[in-house]
Structure 1
Amino acid sequence: METDSAADTQIPRKLQALLDRLNRPIQSAYENQGASSTQLDSFVSSQIVEALRSTVFPAHVEAELLVLRFLFQEQEGRSPKRLETARQVLGRLSTMALQQTSDSPSRESSPERRASTDHGDSRSAENRPVPSNRALHETDIRFAKGVGPKRALLLEKLGIRTIEDALWFLPWRYEDRSRIVSISQLVPEEKATIAGTIHQAGLRRTRRRNMTLFTMSVQDETGVVEVVFFNQPYLDGVLQNGLRVVLSGPVVRHRRGVGVQMRTPQYEVVDEDEDLLLHVGRIVPVYHETRGLSSRQLRRILWGLLETYGSDLEDPLPSRLLEQHRWPSLNEAIASLHFPVMGSDLSLLNDWQTPAHHRLAFEEGFLLQLALAFRQRMRQSASPGIAFRLSGSYTTPLQKHLPFQLTDAQQRVLAEIEADMRAARPMNRLLQGDVGSGKTIVALHAMLGACGDGYQAALMAPTEILAEQHMLTIRPYLDALDVSVAFLTGGTSPKERATALARIAAGHVQLIVGTHALLEQDVQFAKLGIVVVDEQHKFGVLQRGKLREKALYPDVLVMTATPIPRTLAMTIYGDLDVSVIDELPAGRQPIRTRVFRHNARSRAYELVRKEVHEGRQAYIVYPLVEESEKLDLEAVMQAAERLRSTEFVGMNVGIIHGRMKSDERAQIMNAFRAGDVHVLVATTVIEVGVDVPNATVMVIEHADRFGLAQLHQLRGRVG
């Protein structure tokens, strides 16, 4: 295997050998007054492609080679100045070969630049700007070549503020423009790329309403082709006569049966020949754009950035790992994705399946896991936690009051939680379990364990309804064990709130149930030992942290019913230990989900009537989103009135939504639990926490407006 220095000394020799093979046939064609043939075109193009594949030339050398290859592509076949231009390029390349023989190896020939040299720029390495000493993530993009203040504002719309942002702004797809086909050789039912000049462009009327056609004729040295765009009238001000364009798209037979036509191709306006090298004759990156900033302009900017800063990215992955997976370095990966090298697989690029894509995807997950693991390590080592004794003064008698036995899964998870609580470091655990799996009872054991050791416990829920549900569930056990409890939400009256706050601060309350109200500054705990957060995905990280800060490193248990695969949970909540209740209590019936089309709604309501006639209850759920909350609420109210007078005549139909006052909601829910309300029309306010065992059927209207997690939560409310 050649060393870097040995490879560098071979580059001038390989370049000179290539020039020796090309000089004679090109000179011969020039001396025969421009005589040329397809054999010469094929020979020159194949020689250059093979050289680029086998050797890593400096960027300015490869740029000249690409110019030469472009001159001998078929679409240039009859240009009278072609051979004269080719001789000039050969002359420049000969000079470069001589210079490289005497010069020391430049930065351009290093392996780190390998993937970024397949594009045109005539600047030599010596004339390039010197990279800034500032870190790339600190260097403002407006200072980059070709940007400036105005273009920086456009880049900011794409999320690009620094040099590093720009280098990581990867193409979202690629087009193969490595072979420009002459118009005379277009074949129907194939996709092709052509380059030519626009003639006779304009809008055409059609007989069909709401249909516009923009047509234009594009011409090269070999012929003319008609190009049609459907329902894109704005192109009349973009693609105008005389502009040079590159088009990539499907070729079809002309509707009149004579010749061919291109329909709705991808298009790009290009400048003079020196600008073509970034946009044709290669696999071309296509970026997300914004008004005033096209993919063509982004290519120019990124090419300049790669030339200046492309070797300055610090690779966080060890070389051993890269060698093991045969992944490119970070510099090579970024460069090869912006400007793929000759011979790259287009399908792999567009599917994000190249080694460079795999490497970047791994790096993202690797760094996330590293940061989470580091944060967990720091928390465990730097934060002295509470080492609970777990005397069992409350948890042992609790077992006698439970009308059921804990499942094996609940006992396993409880053992994991108790082991954390006994350790002298703060617990930070995620408890995951399906709706109805018994998470609340497990959390109650943990909280009573802390209360038995003289500490306070807090249970925070995202909604008042869920907080009320928790209170109703655990209150009988707390009363039986003589454990003092307080309930604190946004709907608590000022007098009750003041009394509760005083008792909590004085330590006269052992267990506190509430909502976001627990986060408010005036809530002070006397000796908080454990925090339980239900439906934790409804809270932000800062909100959970704010409750944790109300004590000196309390244990934290967060719960969720949203089904998360364990591998995904470790990615999202990598700083949490994960416990899963993967077993439902005995006797719980499986929930069946059925889909009804709009015209079969009556069948769904018939199922509801059947369940109600058999003594059970039902939910009818409507979507409610913030953007259209007022209209959605009106729709819910109207639906309830319509159902009372049509589908459910003679039944007590109730309604509940988040805009109701807390006492009104409590009154409706109490009536529903007591069986006085047969059908409850509701919004997603019942998504979490509402537990009415007699409610055995739920109809979800406009299910397409719910997320999968919401649908899963809702279906857990029945059965």
Structure 2
Amino acid sequence: MDVSSELSSIKGIGEKTKQNFNLFGIFNVMDLLLHFPRSYENISKPKQISEAVDNEKILIHVQVIDICRDVRTQNNKVITTIVFSDGETEFKAKWFNQPYMKNKFEIDKEITLLGMVKLYRNEKILSNPVEVIKESISSKKINSIYPLRSGITNGIISKSINTILETTIIAENLPKWLIDKYKLCSLNDAIKDIHNPTSSAGLIAAKRRLKFQELFTYSLKVLMLKDYINKDNNGISFFIAKEMQELKENLPFLLTGAQSRVVREILLDQKKKVSMNRLVQGDVGSGKTMVAIISMFNVVKNGYQAALMAPTEILAFQHLEEVTKVLKNFDLRIAILSGSLTAKEKKLVKERLKLGEIDILIGTHAMLEDNVEFSNLGMVVTDEQHRFGVMQRSKLFNKGNNVDILVMTATPIPRTLALYLYGDLEVSIIDELPPGRQKIDTSYINKNQKSKAYLFALEEIRKGHQVYIVCPLVEESEELSITSVEENYKVLKEEYFKDYTVEILHGKMPPKVKNDIMNRFKAEEIKVLISTTVIEVGVNVPNASLMIIENAERFGLAQLHQLRGRVGRGSSKSYCILLADIKSTVTKKRMEIMQKSNDGFYISEEDLKIRGSGEIFGYRQSGEDGFILSDIVQDVNILKIANQEAKALLKSNLQEDIRVKDEIMNKIQRSSKYICFN
């Protein structure tokens, strides 16, 4: 089977299942093969329900007896109940907030389930079980558990992947000398063993190969981008605009010493006849955006266009507001391009951009589309770079002719790691905060005492201030016991904030709804905003004085610091309360670090020691950074070797190496991931 084939070519996948996979970001055979298990269960012998004890995870062969009507609880949870028989005993299985599960079973159908036994009122029930393919159990001891979403069960994923693996041989795409040198297993074996491991050793070997593949490909891409930029790099030489002094005099505040130093470094880069390729690191609130505005202003005054790309619409609109405000006296044409614009509005922006009637374009990833054409692009700024990655950086570079690139991140990265991650970039650091920036008073309490936090929130609201409450999930998960936005909204609105306007905000909302809610929060119409981490990056509401973070133990410290940075932006004393399930010394230590320091660089270094980079960036499972398995800190030794061998491959004149390099690069140009194959 060709890995580029559509999902409909897989036996058993109909139109509805295909649509559900598409919503998961899975569109073809390769996408499905790269949907790796999130965990593994070493449970091979099925049990009867009568043999199981409370809190034991079991494998059980069952027959569907009855599908009950859903029940909605007082706190608005939906409980789906199905009655099964294991041939000896009838028992119930329950799913929480997964009403679609009842559509996955048919009366009298025989299946195999994997789930946790819970004792409830002297009755054994199976909690949130997943379907396991019966045929796979006898051939292996380790069962794969996949990330799921509505309409997609573990059984569907497992069965579909097994169908692919039965008819597909994945061609090797690394040089033989490289595989032999590091004793890597074949790519075909790695893909098979990560989905269907028969031993722990086989699973470890598969992960090692795939991590090497990711980090090698990433390093190759970074190094080739650097070579591409430096090769025949007749970049644009920008003089320092005569209006620069006037701009500095019109700024709302004096630049800090660190901001001034970084601006000088950028202006020196802009004067050179080679393209600038610079990373600016700065703590939350250090004034990176102002540095970017000054840099873009200089480019525009040289007769060129500038673009600023943000990771979220909320931040893009905030940038639009700030850029317009700072440059209001200079008659510049500033526009935004984002997903929430109407088709007519987008068309008009694109037409004006191509005609050179826009000086500064601000937007989201919509700017990466092929039909977005600039008349005379001179500079691209990307905000919060770890949300985009090297491939997007390459695509932006090609929007113009040897344009200057400025990358901004508020996540401090150690220089040794930055060398590998941003090998194509020079690094500037803004290591000073503007005077008057509020120190945020941070405390942590056990989550079973959360009422104290919400009573304190009421005090802040009565003083005329506003409150953020951040939760890690959108929908309630009974199994994980993580507080969700929707669940928290119902409880808090009724119990604490019934006299005030409370709204929820999360990434699944339409862009226009999100923007409307943020505008109302800025206008102080909303007193309490219950949100996911969508507010993590750059959101600026000076009247917000309190940040409460639910399940704080689920976040990396650097991400907690980012979230905390949403308050303390006005003149009022500001606070951050971390609600955590403090069961371990590690969790307590992490909370103490947050309580002790407001220094993002110190916090990031401590976070690196305790957790991996994927946790630090805060969305380990999402793959937004292009990595599926690799953790750039925990796997730093693999990263170093991969980087070293990528350099060797680029220098090699061997025919096989040239072929491999070309094949890999052709594949990753068409993919957002660093594991690609035939």
Q: TM-score by structure 2 length?
A: 0.52
Superposition pairs of residues 378-393 of structure 1, within 5 angstroms = 379-393=229-243
Give the partner amino acid of 1:671: R
Measure the CA separation in 2 of the matches of 1:487 and 1:507. Answer: 14
Q: 2:339 aligns with which of 477, 490, 495?
A: 490
How far off its partner does 1:436 sit? 0.6
Measure the CA separation in 2 of the matches of 1:499 and 1:367. Answer: 38
Superposition pairs of residues 273-672 of structure 1, within 5 angstroms = 376-377=226-227, 379-393=229-243, 395-624=244-473, 635-672=484-521
Q: Is contact 2:355–2:375 with CA below 8 Å preserved after alignment?
A: yes
Give the partner amino acid of 2:318: Q
Give the partner amino acid of 2:338: T
Q: 1:689 aligns with which of 538, 541, 547?
A: 538
How far off its partner does 1:510 sit? 0.5
Distance 1:627 1:634, change over 3 A: closer
How far off its partner does 1:546 sit? 1.5
SS class of match (1:430):
strand
Distance 1:204 1:554, change over 3 A: closer
**Which has the larger displacement, 554-563 or 449-458?**
554-563
SS class of match (1:530):
strand
How far off its partner does 1:428 sit? 0.9
Taking CA–CA contacts closer than 8 Å with sequence separation of 6 or more, which of the two structures ends up with the larger relative contact order? Answer: 2
How far off its partner does 1:675 sit? 1.8
Partner of 2:149: none
- Gapped regions of structure 2 (runs ≥ 5): 1-29, 34-44, 61-136, 142-174, 185-210, 569-678
Partner of 1:698: 547
How far off its partner does 1:714 sit? 1.1
Q: Is contact 1:478–1:485 with CA below 8 Å preserved after alignment?
A: no
Measure the CA separation in 1 of the matches of 2:284 and 2:340. Answer: 26
Measure the CA separation in 2 of the matches of 1:501 and 1:633. Answer: 43
SS class of match (1:595):
strand
Partner of 2:524: 675
Distance 1:479 1:633, change over 3 A: farther
Give the partner amino acid of 1:647: Y
Measure the CA separation in 2 of the matches of 1:375 and 1:503. Answer: 30
Measure the CA separation in 1 of the matches of 2:469 and 2:319. Answer: 23
Measure the CA separation in 2 of the matches of 1:231 and 1:367. Answer: 40
How far off its partner does 1:578 sit? 0.7
SS class of match (2:439):
coil
- Gapped regions of structure 1 (runs ≥ 5): 1-155, 160-201, 212-229, 234-289, 295-311, 317-329, 336-360
Give the partner amino acid of 1:382: D
Distance 1:567 1:607, change over 3 A: farther
Measure the CA separation in 1 of the matches of 2:411 and 2:539. Answer: 15
From the CA coordinates, give the structure whose radius of gyration is larger: 1
Partner of 2:581: none
Distance 1:592 1:375, change over 3 A: same
Measure the CA separation in 2 of the matches of 1:575 and 1:477. Answer: 31
Distance 1:231 1:606, change over 3 A: closer
How far off its partner does 1:485 sit? 0.6
How far off its partner does 1:421 sit? 1.0
Q: Is contact 2:236–2:270 with CA below 8 Å preserved after alignment?
A: yes
- 1:121-144 Cα offsets, whole Å, 9 max, x none, are xxxxxxxxxxxxxxxxxxxxxxxx
Measure the CA separation in 2 of the matches of 1:616 and 1:204. Answer: 57
Measure the CA separation in 2 of the matches of 1:231 and 1:555. Answer: 58
Q: Is contact 2:221–2:390 with CA below 8 Å preserved after alignment?
A: no
Measure the CA separation in 1 of the matches of 2:382 and 2:539. Answer: 17
Q: Is contact 2:335–2:360 with CA below 8 Å preserved after alignment?
A: yes
SS class of match (1:524):
coil
- 1:637-679 Cα offsets, whole Å, 9 max, x none, are 3422321221123222122222333333222222211222111
SS class of match (2:442):
coil
Cα RMSD for the two superposed structures: 4.4
How far off its partner does 1:712 sit? 2.7
How far off its partner does 1:580 sit? 0.8
Distance 1:398 1:636, change over 3 A: same
How far off its partner does 1:377 sit? 5.0
Distance 1:480 1:371, change over 3 A: closer
Q: Is contact 1:636–1:682 with CA below 8 Å preserved after alignment?
A: yes
Measure the CA separation in 1 of the matches of 2:275 and 2:327. Answer: 25
Q: Is contact 2:299–2:306 with CA below 8 Å preserved after alignment?
A: yes
Q: TM-score by structure 1 length?
A: 0.49
How far off its partner does 1:438 sit? 0.2
Measure the CA separation in 2 of the matches of 1:210 and 1:643. Answer: 36
Distance 1:232 1:520, change over 3 A: closer
How far off its partner does 1:598 sit? 2.1
Measure the CA separation in 1 of the matches of 2:529 and 2:458. Answer: 13
SS class of match (2:444):
coil
How far off its partner does 1:504 sit? 0.9
Q: Is contact 1:619–1:681 with CA below 8 Å preserved after alignment?
A: yes
Distance 1:399 1:313, change over 3 A: same
| Aligned residue-pair number | 400
Q: Is contact 2:474–2:484 with CA below 8 Å preserved after alignment?
A: no
Give the partner amino acid of 1:420: D
Partner of 1:126: none
Measure the CA separation in 1 of the matches of 2:428 and 2:476. Answer: 36
SS class of match (1:681):
strand
Distance 1:204 1:293, change over 3 A: closer
SS class of match (2:327):
helix
How far off its partner does 1:568 sit? 1.6
How far off its partner does 1:575 sit? 1.5
Q: Is contact 2:52–2:58 with CA below 8 Å preserved after alignment?
A: no
- 1:421-459 Cα offsets, whole Å, 9 max, x none, are 111111111111111100000000110000000000000
SS class of match (1:409):
helix
Q: Is contact 1:397–1:481 with CA below 8 Å preserved after alignment?
A: no
**Which has the larger displacement, 644-653 or 516-525?**
644-653
Q: Is contact 1:625–1:632 with CA below 8 Å preserved after alignment?
A: no
Q: Does structure 1 residue 717 correspond to structure 2 residue 566?
A: yes
Distance 1:373 1:519, change over 3 A: closer
How far off its partner does 1:544 sit? 2.2
Give the partner amino acid of 1:414: V
Q: Is contact 2:483–2:550 with CA below 8 Å preserved after alignment?
A: no
Q: Is contact 1:562–1:709 with CA below 8 Å preserved after alignment?
A: yes
SS class of match (1:533):
strand
How far off its partner does 1:618 sit? 0.8
Measure the CA separation in 2 of the matches of 1:460 and 1:617. Answer: 29
Superposition pairs of residues 86-105 of structure 1, within 5 angstroms = none
Measure the CA separation in 2 of the matches of 1:663 and 1:366. Answer: 40
Measure the CA separation in 1 of the matches of 2:509 and 2:548. Answer: 22
How far off its partner does 1:715 sit? 1.4
- 1:577-620 Cα offsets, whole Å, 9 max, x none, are 11111111111122333222121101111221222222221101
How far off its partner does 1:680 sit? 0.8
SS class of match (1:596):
strand
Superposition pairs of residues 191-270 of structure 1, within 5 angstroms = 210=53
How far off its partner does 1:627 sit? 12
Partner of 2:12: none
